[in-house]
Amino acid sequence: MSALTFLESLVFDYIKITELPDWFSKFTNLKKLTLSLDGNPVIFPDVICRMPSLVSLNLSGTNITGIPENIVNLSLLEELDLSNGKLLSLPDNFGSLGALKKINISGNELISLPDSVGNLLELQEFNLSRNPLPYLPECIGKLEKLENLDLSNTKINGLPKSIGNLAQLTSLDIRGLNIEDAYIPKSLLDRPGVYSPDKENHGLHIIRYKYAYPEGALNYDTFIALYYLTFQDILCFSEKAEREGLLSLEDEIEYIGNAIFRKGLRLVVEGTDNSIIRHVLLTSIERETNQYQKKLKMLALEGILAIQAGESTSSMMLRLNSMIAIKDNLFDKACAAYLNGDEESYEKAMEAISKIKIPEEREEVNFILRAIKFNEIIRRSGFKAIEKMLNTQALASRDIFEYGLRLYLDCEQEEYINQILDNFISQETDPDRKNLCLAKRKALDCIIAGDNTRILTMSLIAYFDEYVEQRVLKSGYANYHEPIYN
């Protein structure tokens, strides 16, 4: 053990550890520590705070919920990575870690920052992305050496005036935020390089997509929202190209969240032949396994080629609208109004489309959490207790879960109810929507059978992908922790 005290680097990257033994504090010369802690939740190991030589600490991917105040004992700490955890807050004295140069606390549950953060005068990189953070404190303006600030996919809707004091700031990531120029301090917008970043003059690069485009598998609701958003992007870029020419699109490309649309437009601006663009993008599209992503990428591809060819915006809208069949498609209404010369109806349809946003949470997650909640109420107080809680809009759209609960409240003939629900399910042609219907039917079966919340939850998450499982376990599962395991 005495020989180990001279260790300077220790990495447990693929080993899950439930706790650190007290003798870890004997690593007095350790400068770099990377490890994974297994558990839910995880308490920040106090023994780490007794390792005074630490310069780099990486606990990414753990479920740490808080940081002890004696972390300030790590006076030499320069890099701290606590990303993808369950941090709810930072200690009030966090700013006493004066040597910190890089902080990554992305993917946690922070809703505020202590004012002492303004004392981190050596800080150069600060990643706060994917936290439900509603605002940024004024003290952020004291971080004079800050170069990179990532606020993407937080809940921030405006920036403090003091952020204009960050003279060294070269990258500000606000992708997925609802921030307009009016809510960005003028002192930032006037900085060189905001729209055309120039590394040679150290201009500020503001990274801001109009919306955060999710990668990987999509569910139906997200697909519908992205369909409208992608279609709108195509029309907007088409109109701009018509007015100002293709080269005018160059400054706007960086704001596009859709990677394939961004890549395609860049090729267009660079003057690439349309056959090459089609080949490059189709090669990428053919590797896509998610049916919804593939449809959206094909839509983007055709839109890109139409913009390059100079196709009129009206012709493009009619042609692209024919590519994807969607129930109650607002673009159908817009196209019909356009063909009939009904300008007022056309404007109303386009206005409704402009208000569509990507759902904050997937429908599958919301459904499972609602099923868990209803199951607990019914087990405790009976069916009548949920009667006034049913969603009338969902009933009108024949949602299997809500409609089924209504039927069970009004009718005791199970055979009759089953026939109605089976008819609804058989009419669904989209495979993902049908899978969701089957999960909702399973929820009804579990509730009627009197299954406990643990059985209900496990039965429902089995229908969906890992993302849904993780979100339920993190959000809903935790809220019903006792019923699940009792």
Please write the tens of the pLDDT for every residue from 22-48.
Answer: 777 777 788 898 876 655 556 788 888
Tell me what pLDDT residue 5 has: 65
Under 8 Å between Cβ of 256 and 269: no
For the chain, the domains span 3-207, 220-354, 363-485
Q: Kindly provide the b/e burial profile for residues 83-119, where b requires at least 16 CB atoms within 10 angstroms of the residue's own CB.
A: bbbbbebbbeebbbbeebbbbbbbbbebeebbebbbb
Does the pLDDT of residue 197 top 60, yes or no?
no
Has residue 100 got a pLDDT over 60? yes
Is the pLDDT higher at 241 or at 187? 241
For the entire predicted model, the pTM comes to 0.54
> pLDDT band at residue 244, thresholds of 50, 70 and 90?
confident
Tokens 């606590």 belong to 82
Per mean pLDDT, which of 162-176, 242-256, 412-426, 442-456 is the most reliable? 442-456
Share of the chain above pLDDT 70, in %: 86
The residue behind tokens 């953070």 is 133
> How far are the Cα atoms of 49, 56, 89, 123, 362 from residue 93, in angstroms, in the given order?
14, 19, 12, 16, 37
* Mean of per-residue pLDDT scores for the chain: 83
Split at pLDDT 50, 70, 90, the class of 219 is confident
pLDDT above 90 covers what percent of the chain?
33
Band of pLDDT at residue 212, cut at 50, 70 and 90 = low
The string of pLDDT tens digits covering residues 157-183 is: 888 889 888 888 888 888 767 676 556
- Predicted pLDDT at 79: 94
DSSP-derived secondary structure for 271-331: T--HHHHHHHHHHHHHT---HHHHHHHHHHHHHHHHHHHT--HHHHHHHHHTTS--TT-HH
Looking at the predicted structure, is the pLDDT value of residue 142 above 90? yes
For residues 325 and 15, which has the higher predicted lDDT (pLDDT)? 325
Q: Is the pLDDT of residue 479 over 50?
A: no
- pLDDT reported for residue 199: 36
Check if CATH label 1.25.40.10 holds for domain 3-207: no
Q: How many angstroms separate the first and last alpha carbons of the chain?
A: 43
The mean pLDDT value for 447-453 works out to 91
Q: What is the pLDDT of residue 210?
A: 59
pLDDT of res. 201? 36
pLDDT band for position 205 (cuts 50, 70, 90):
low
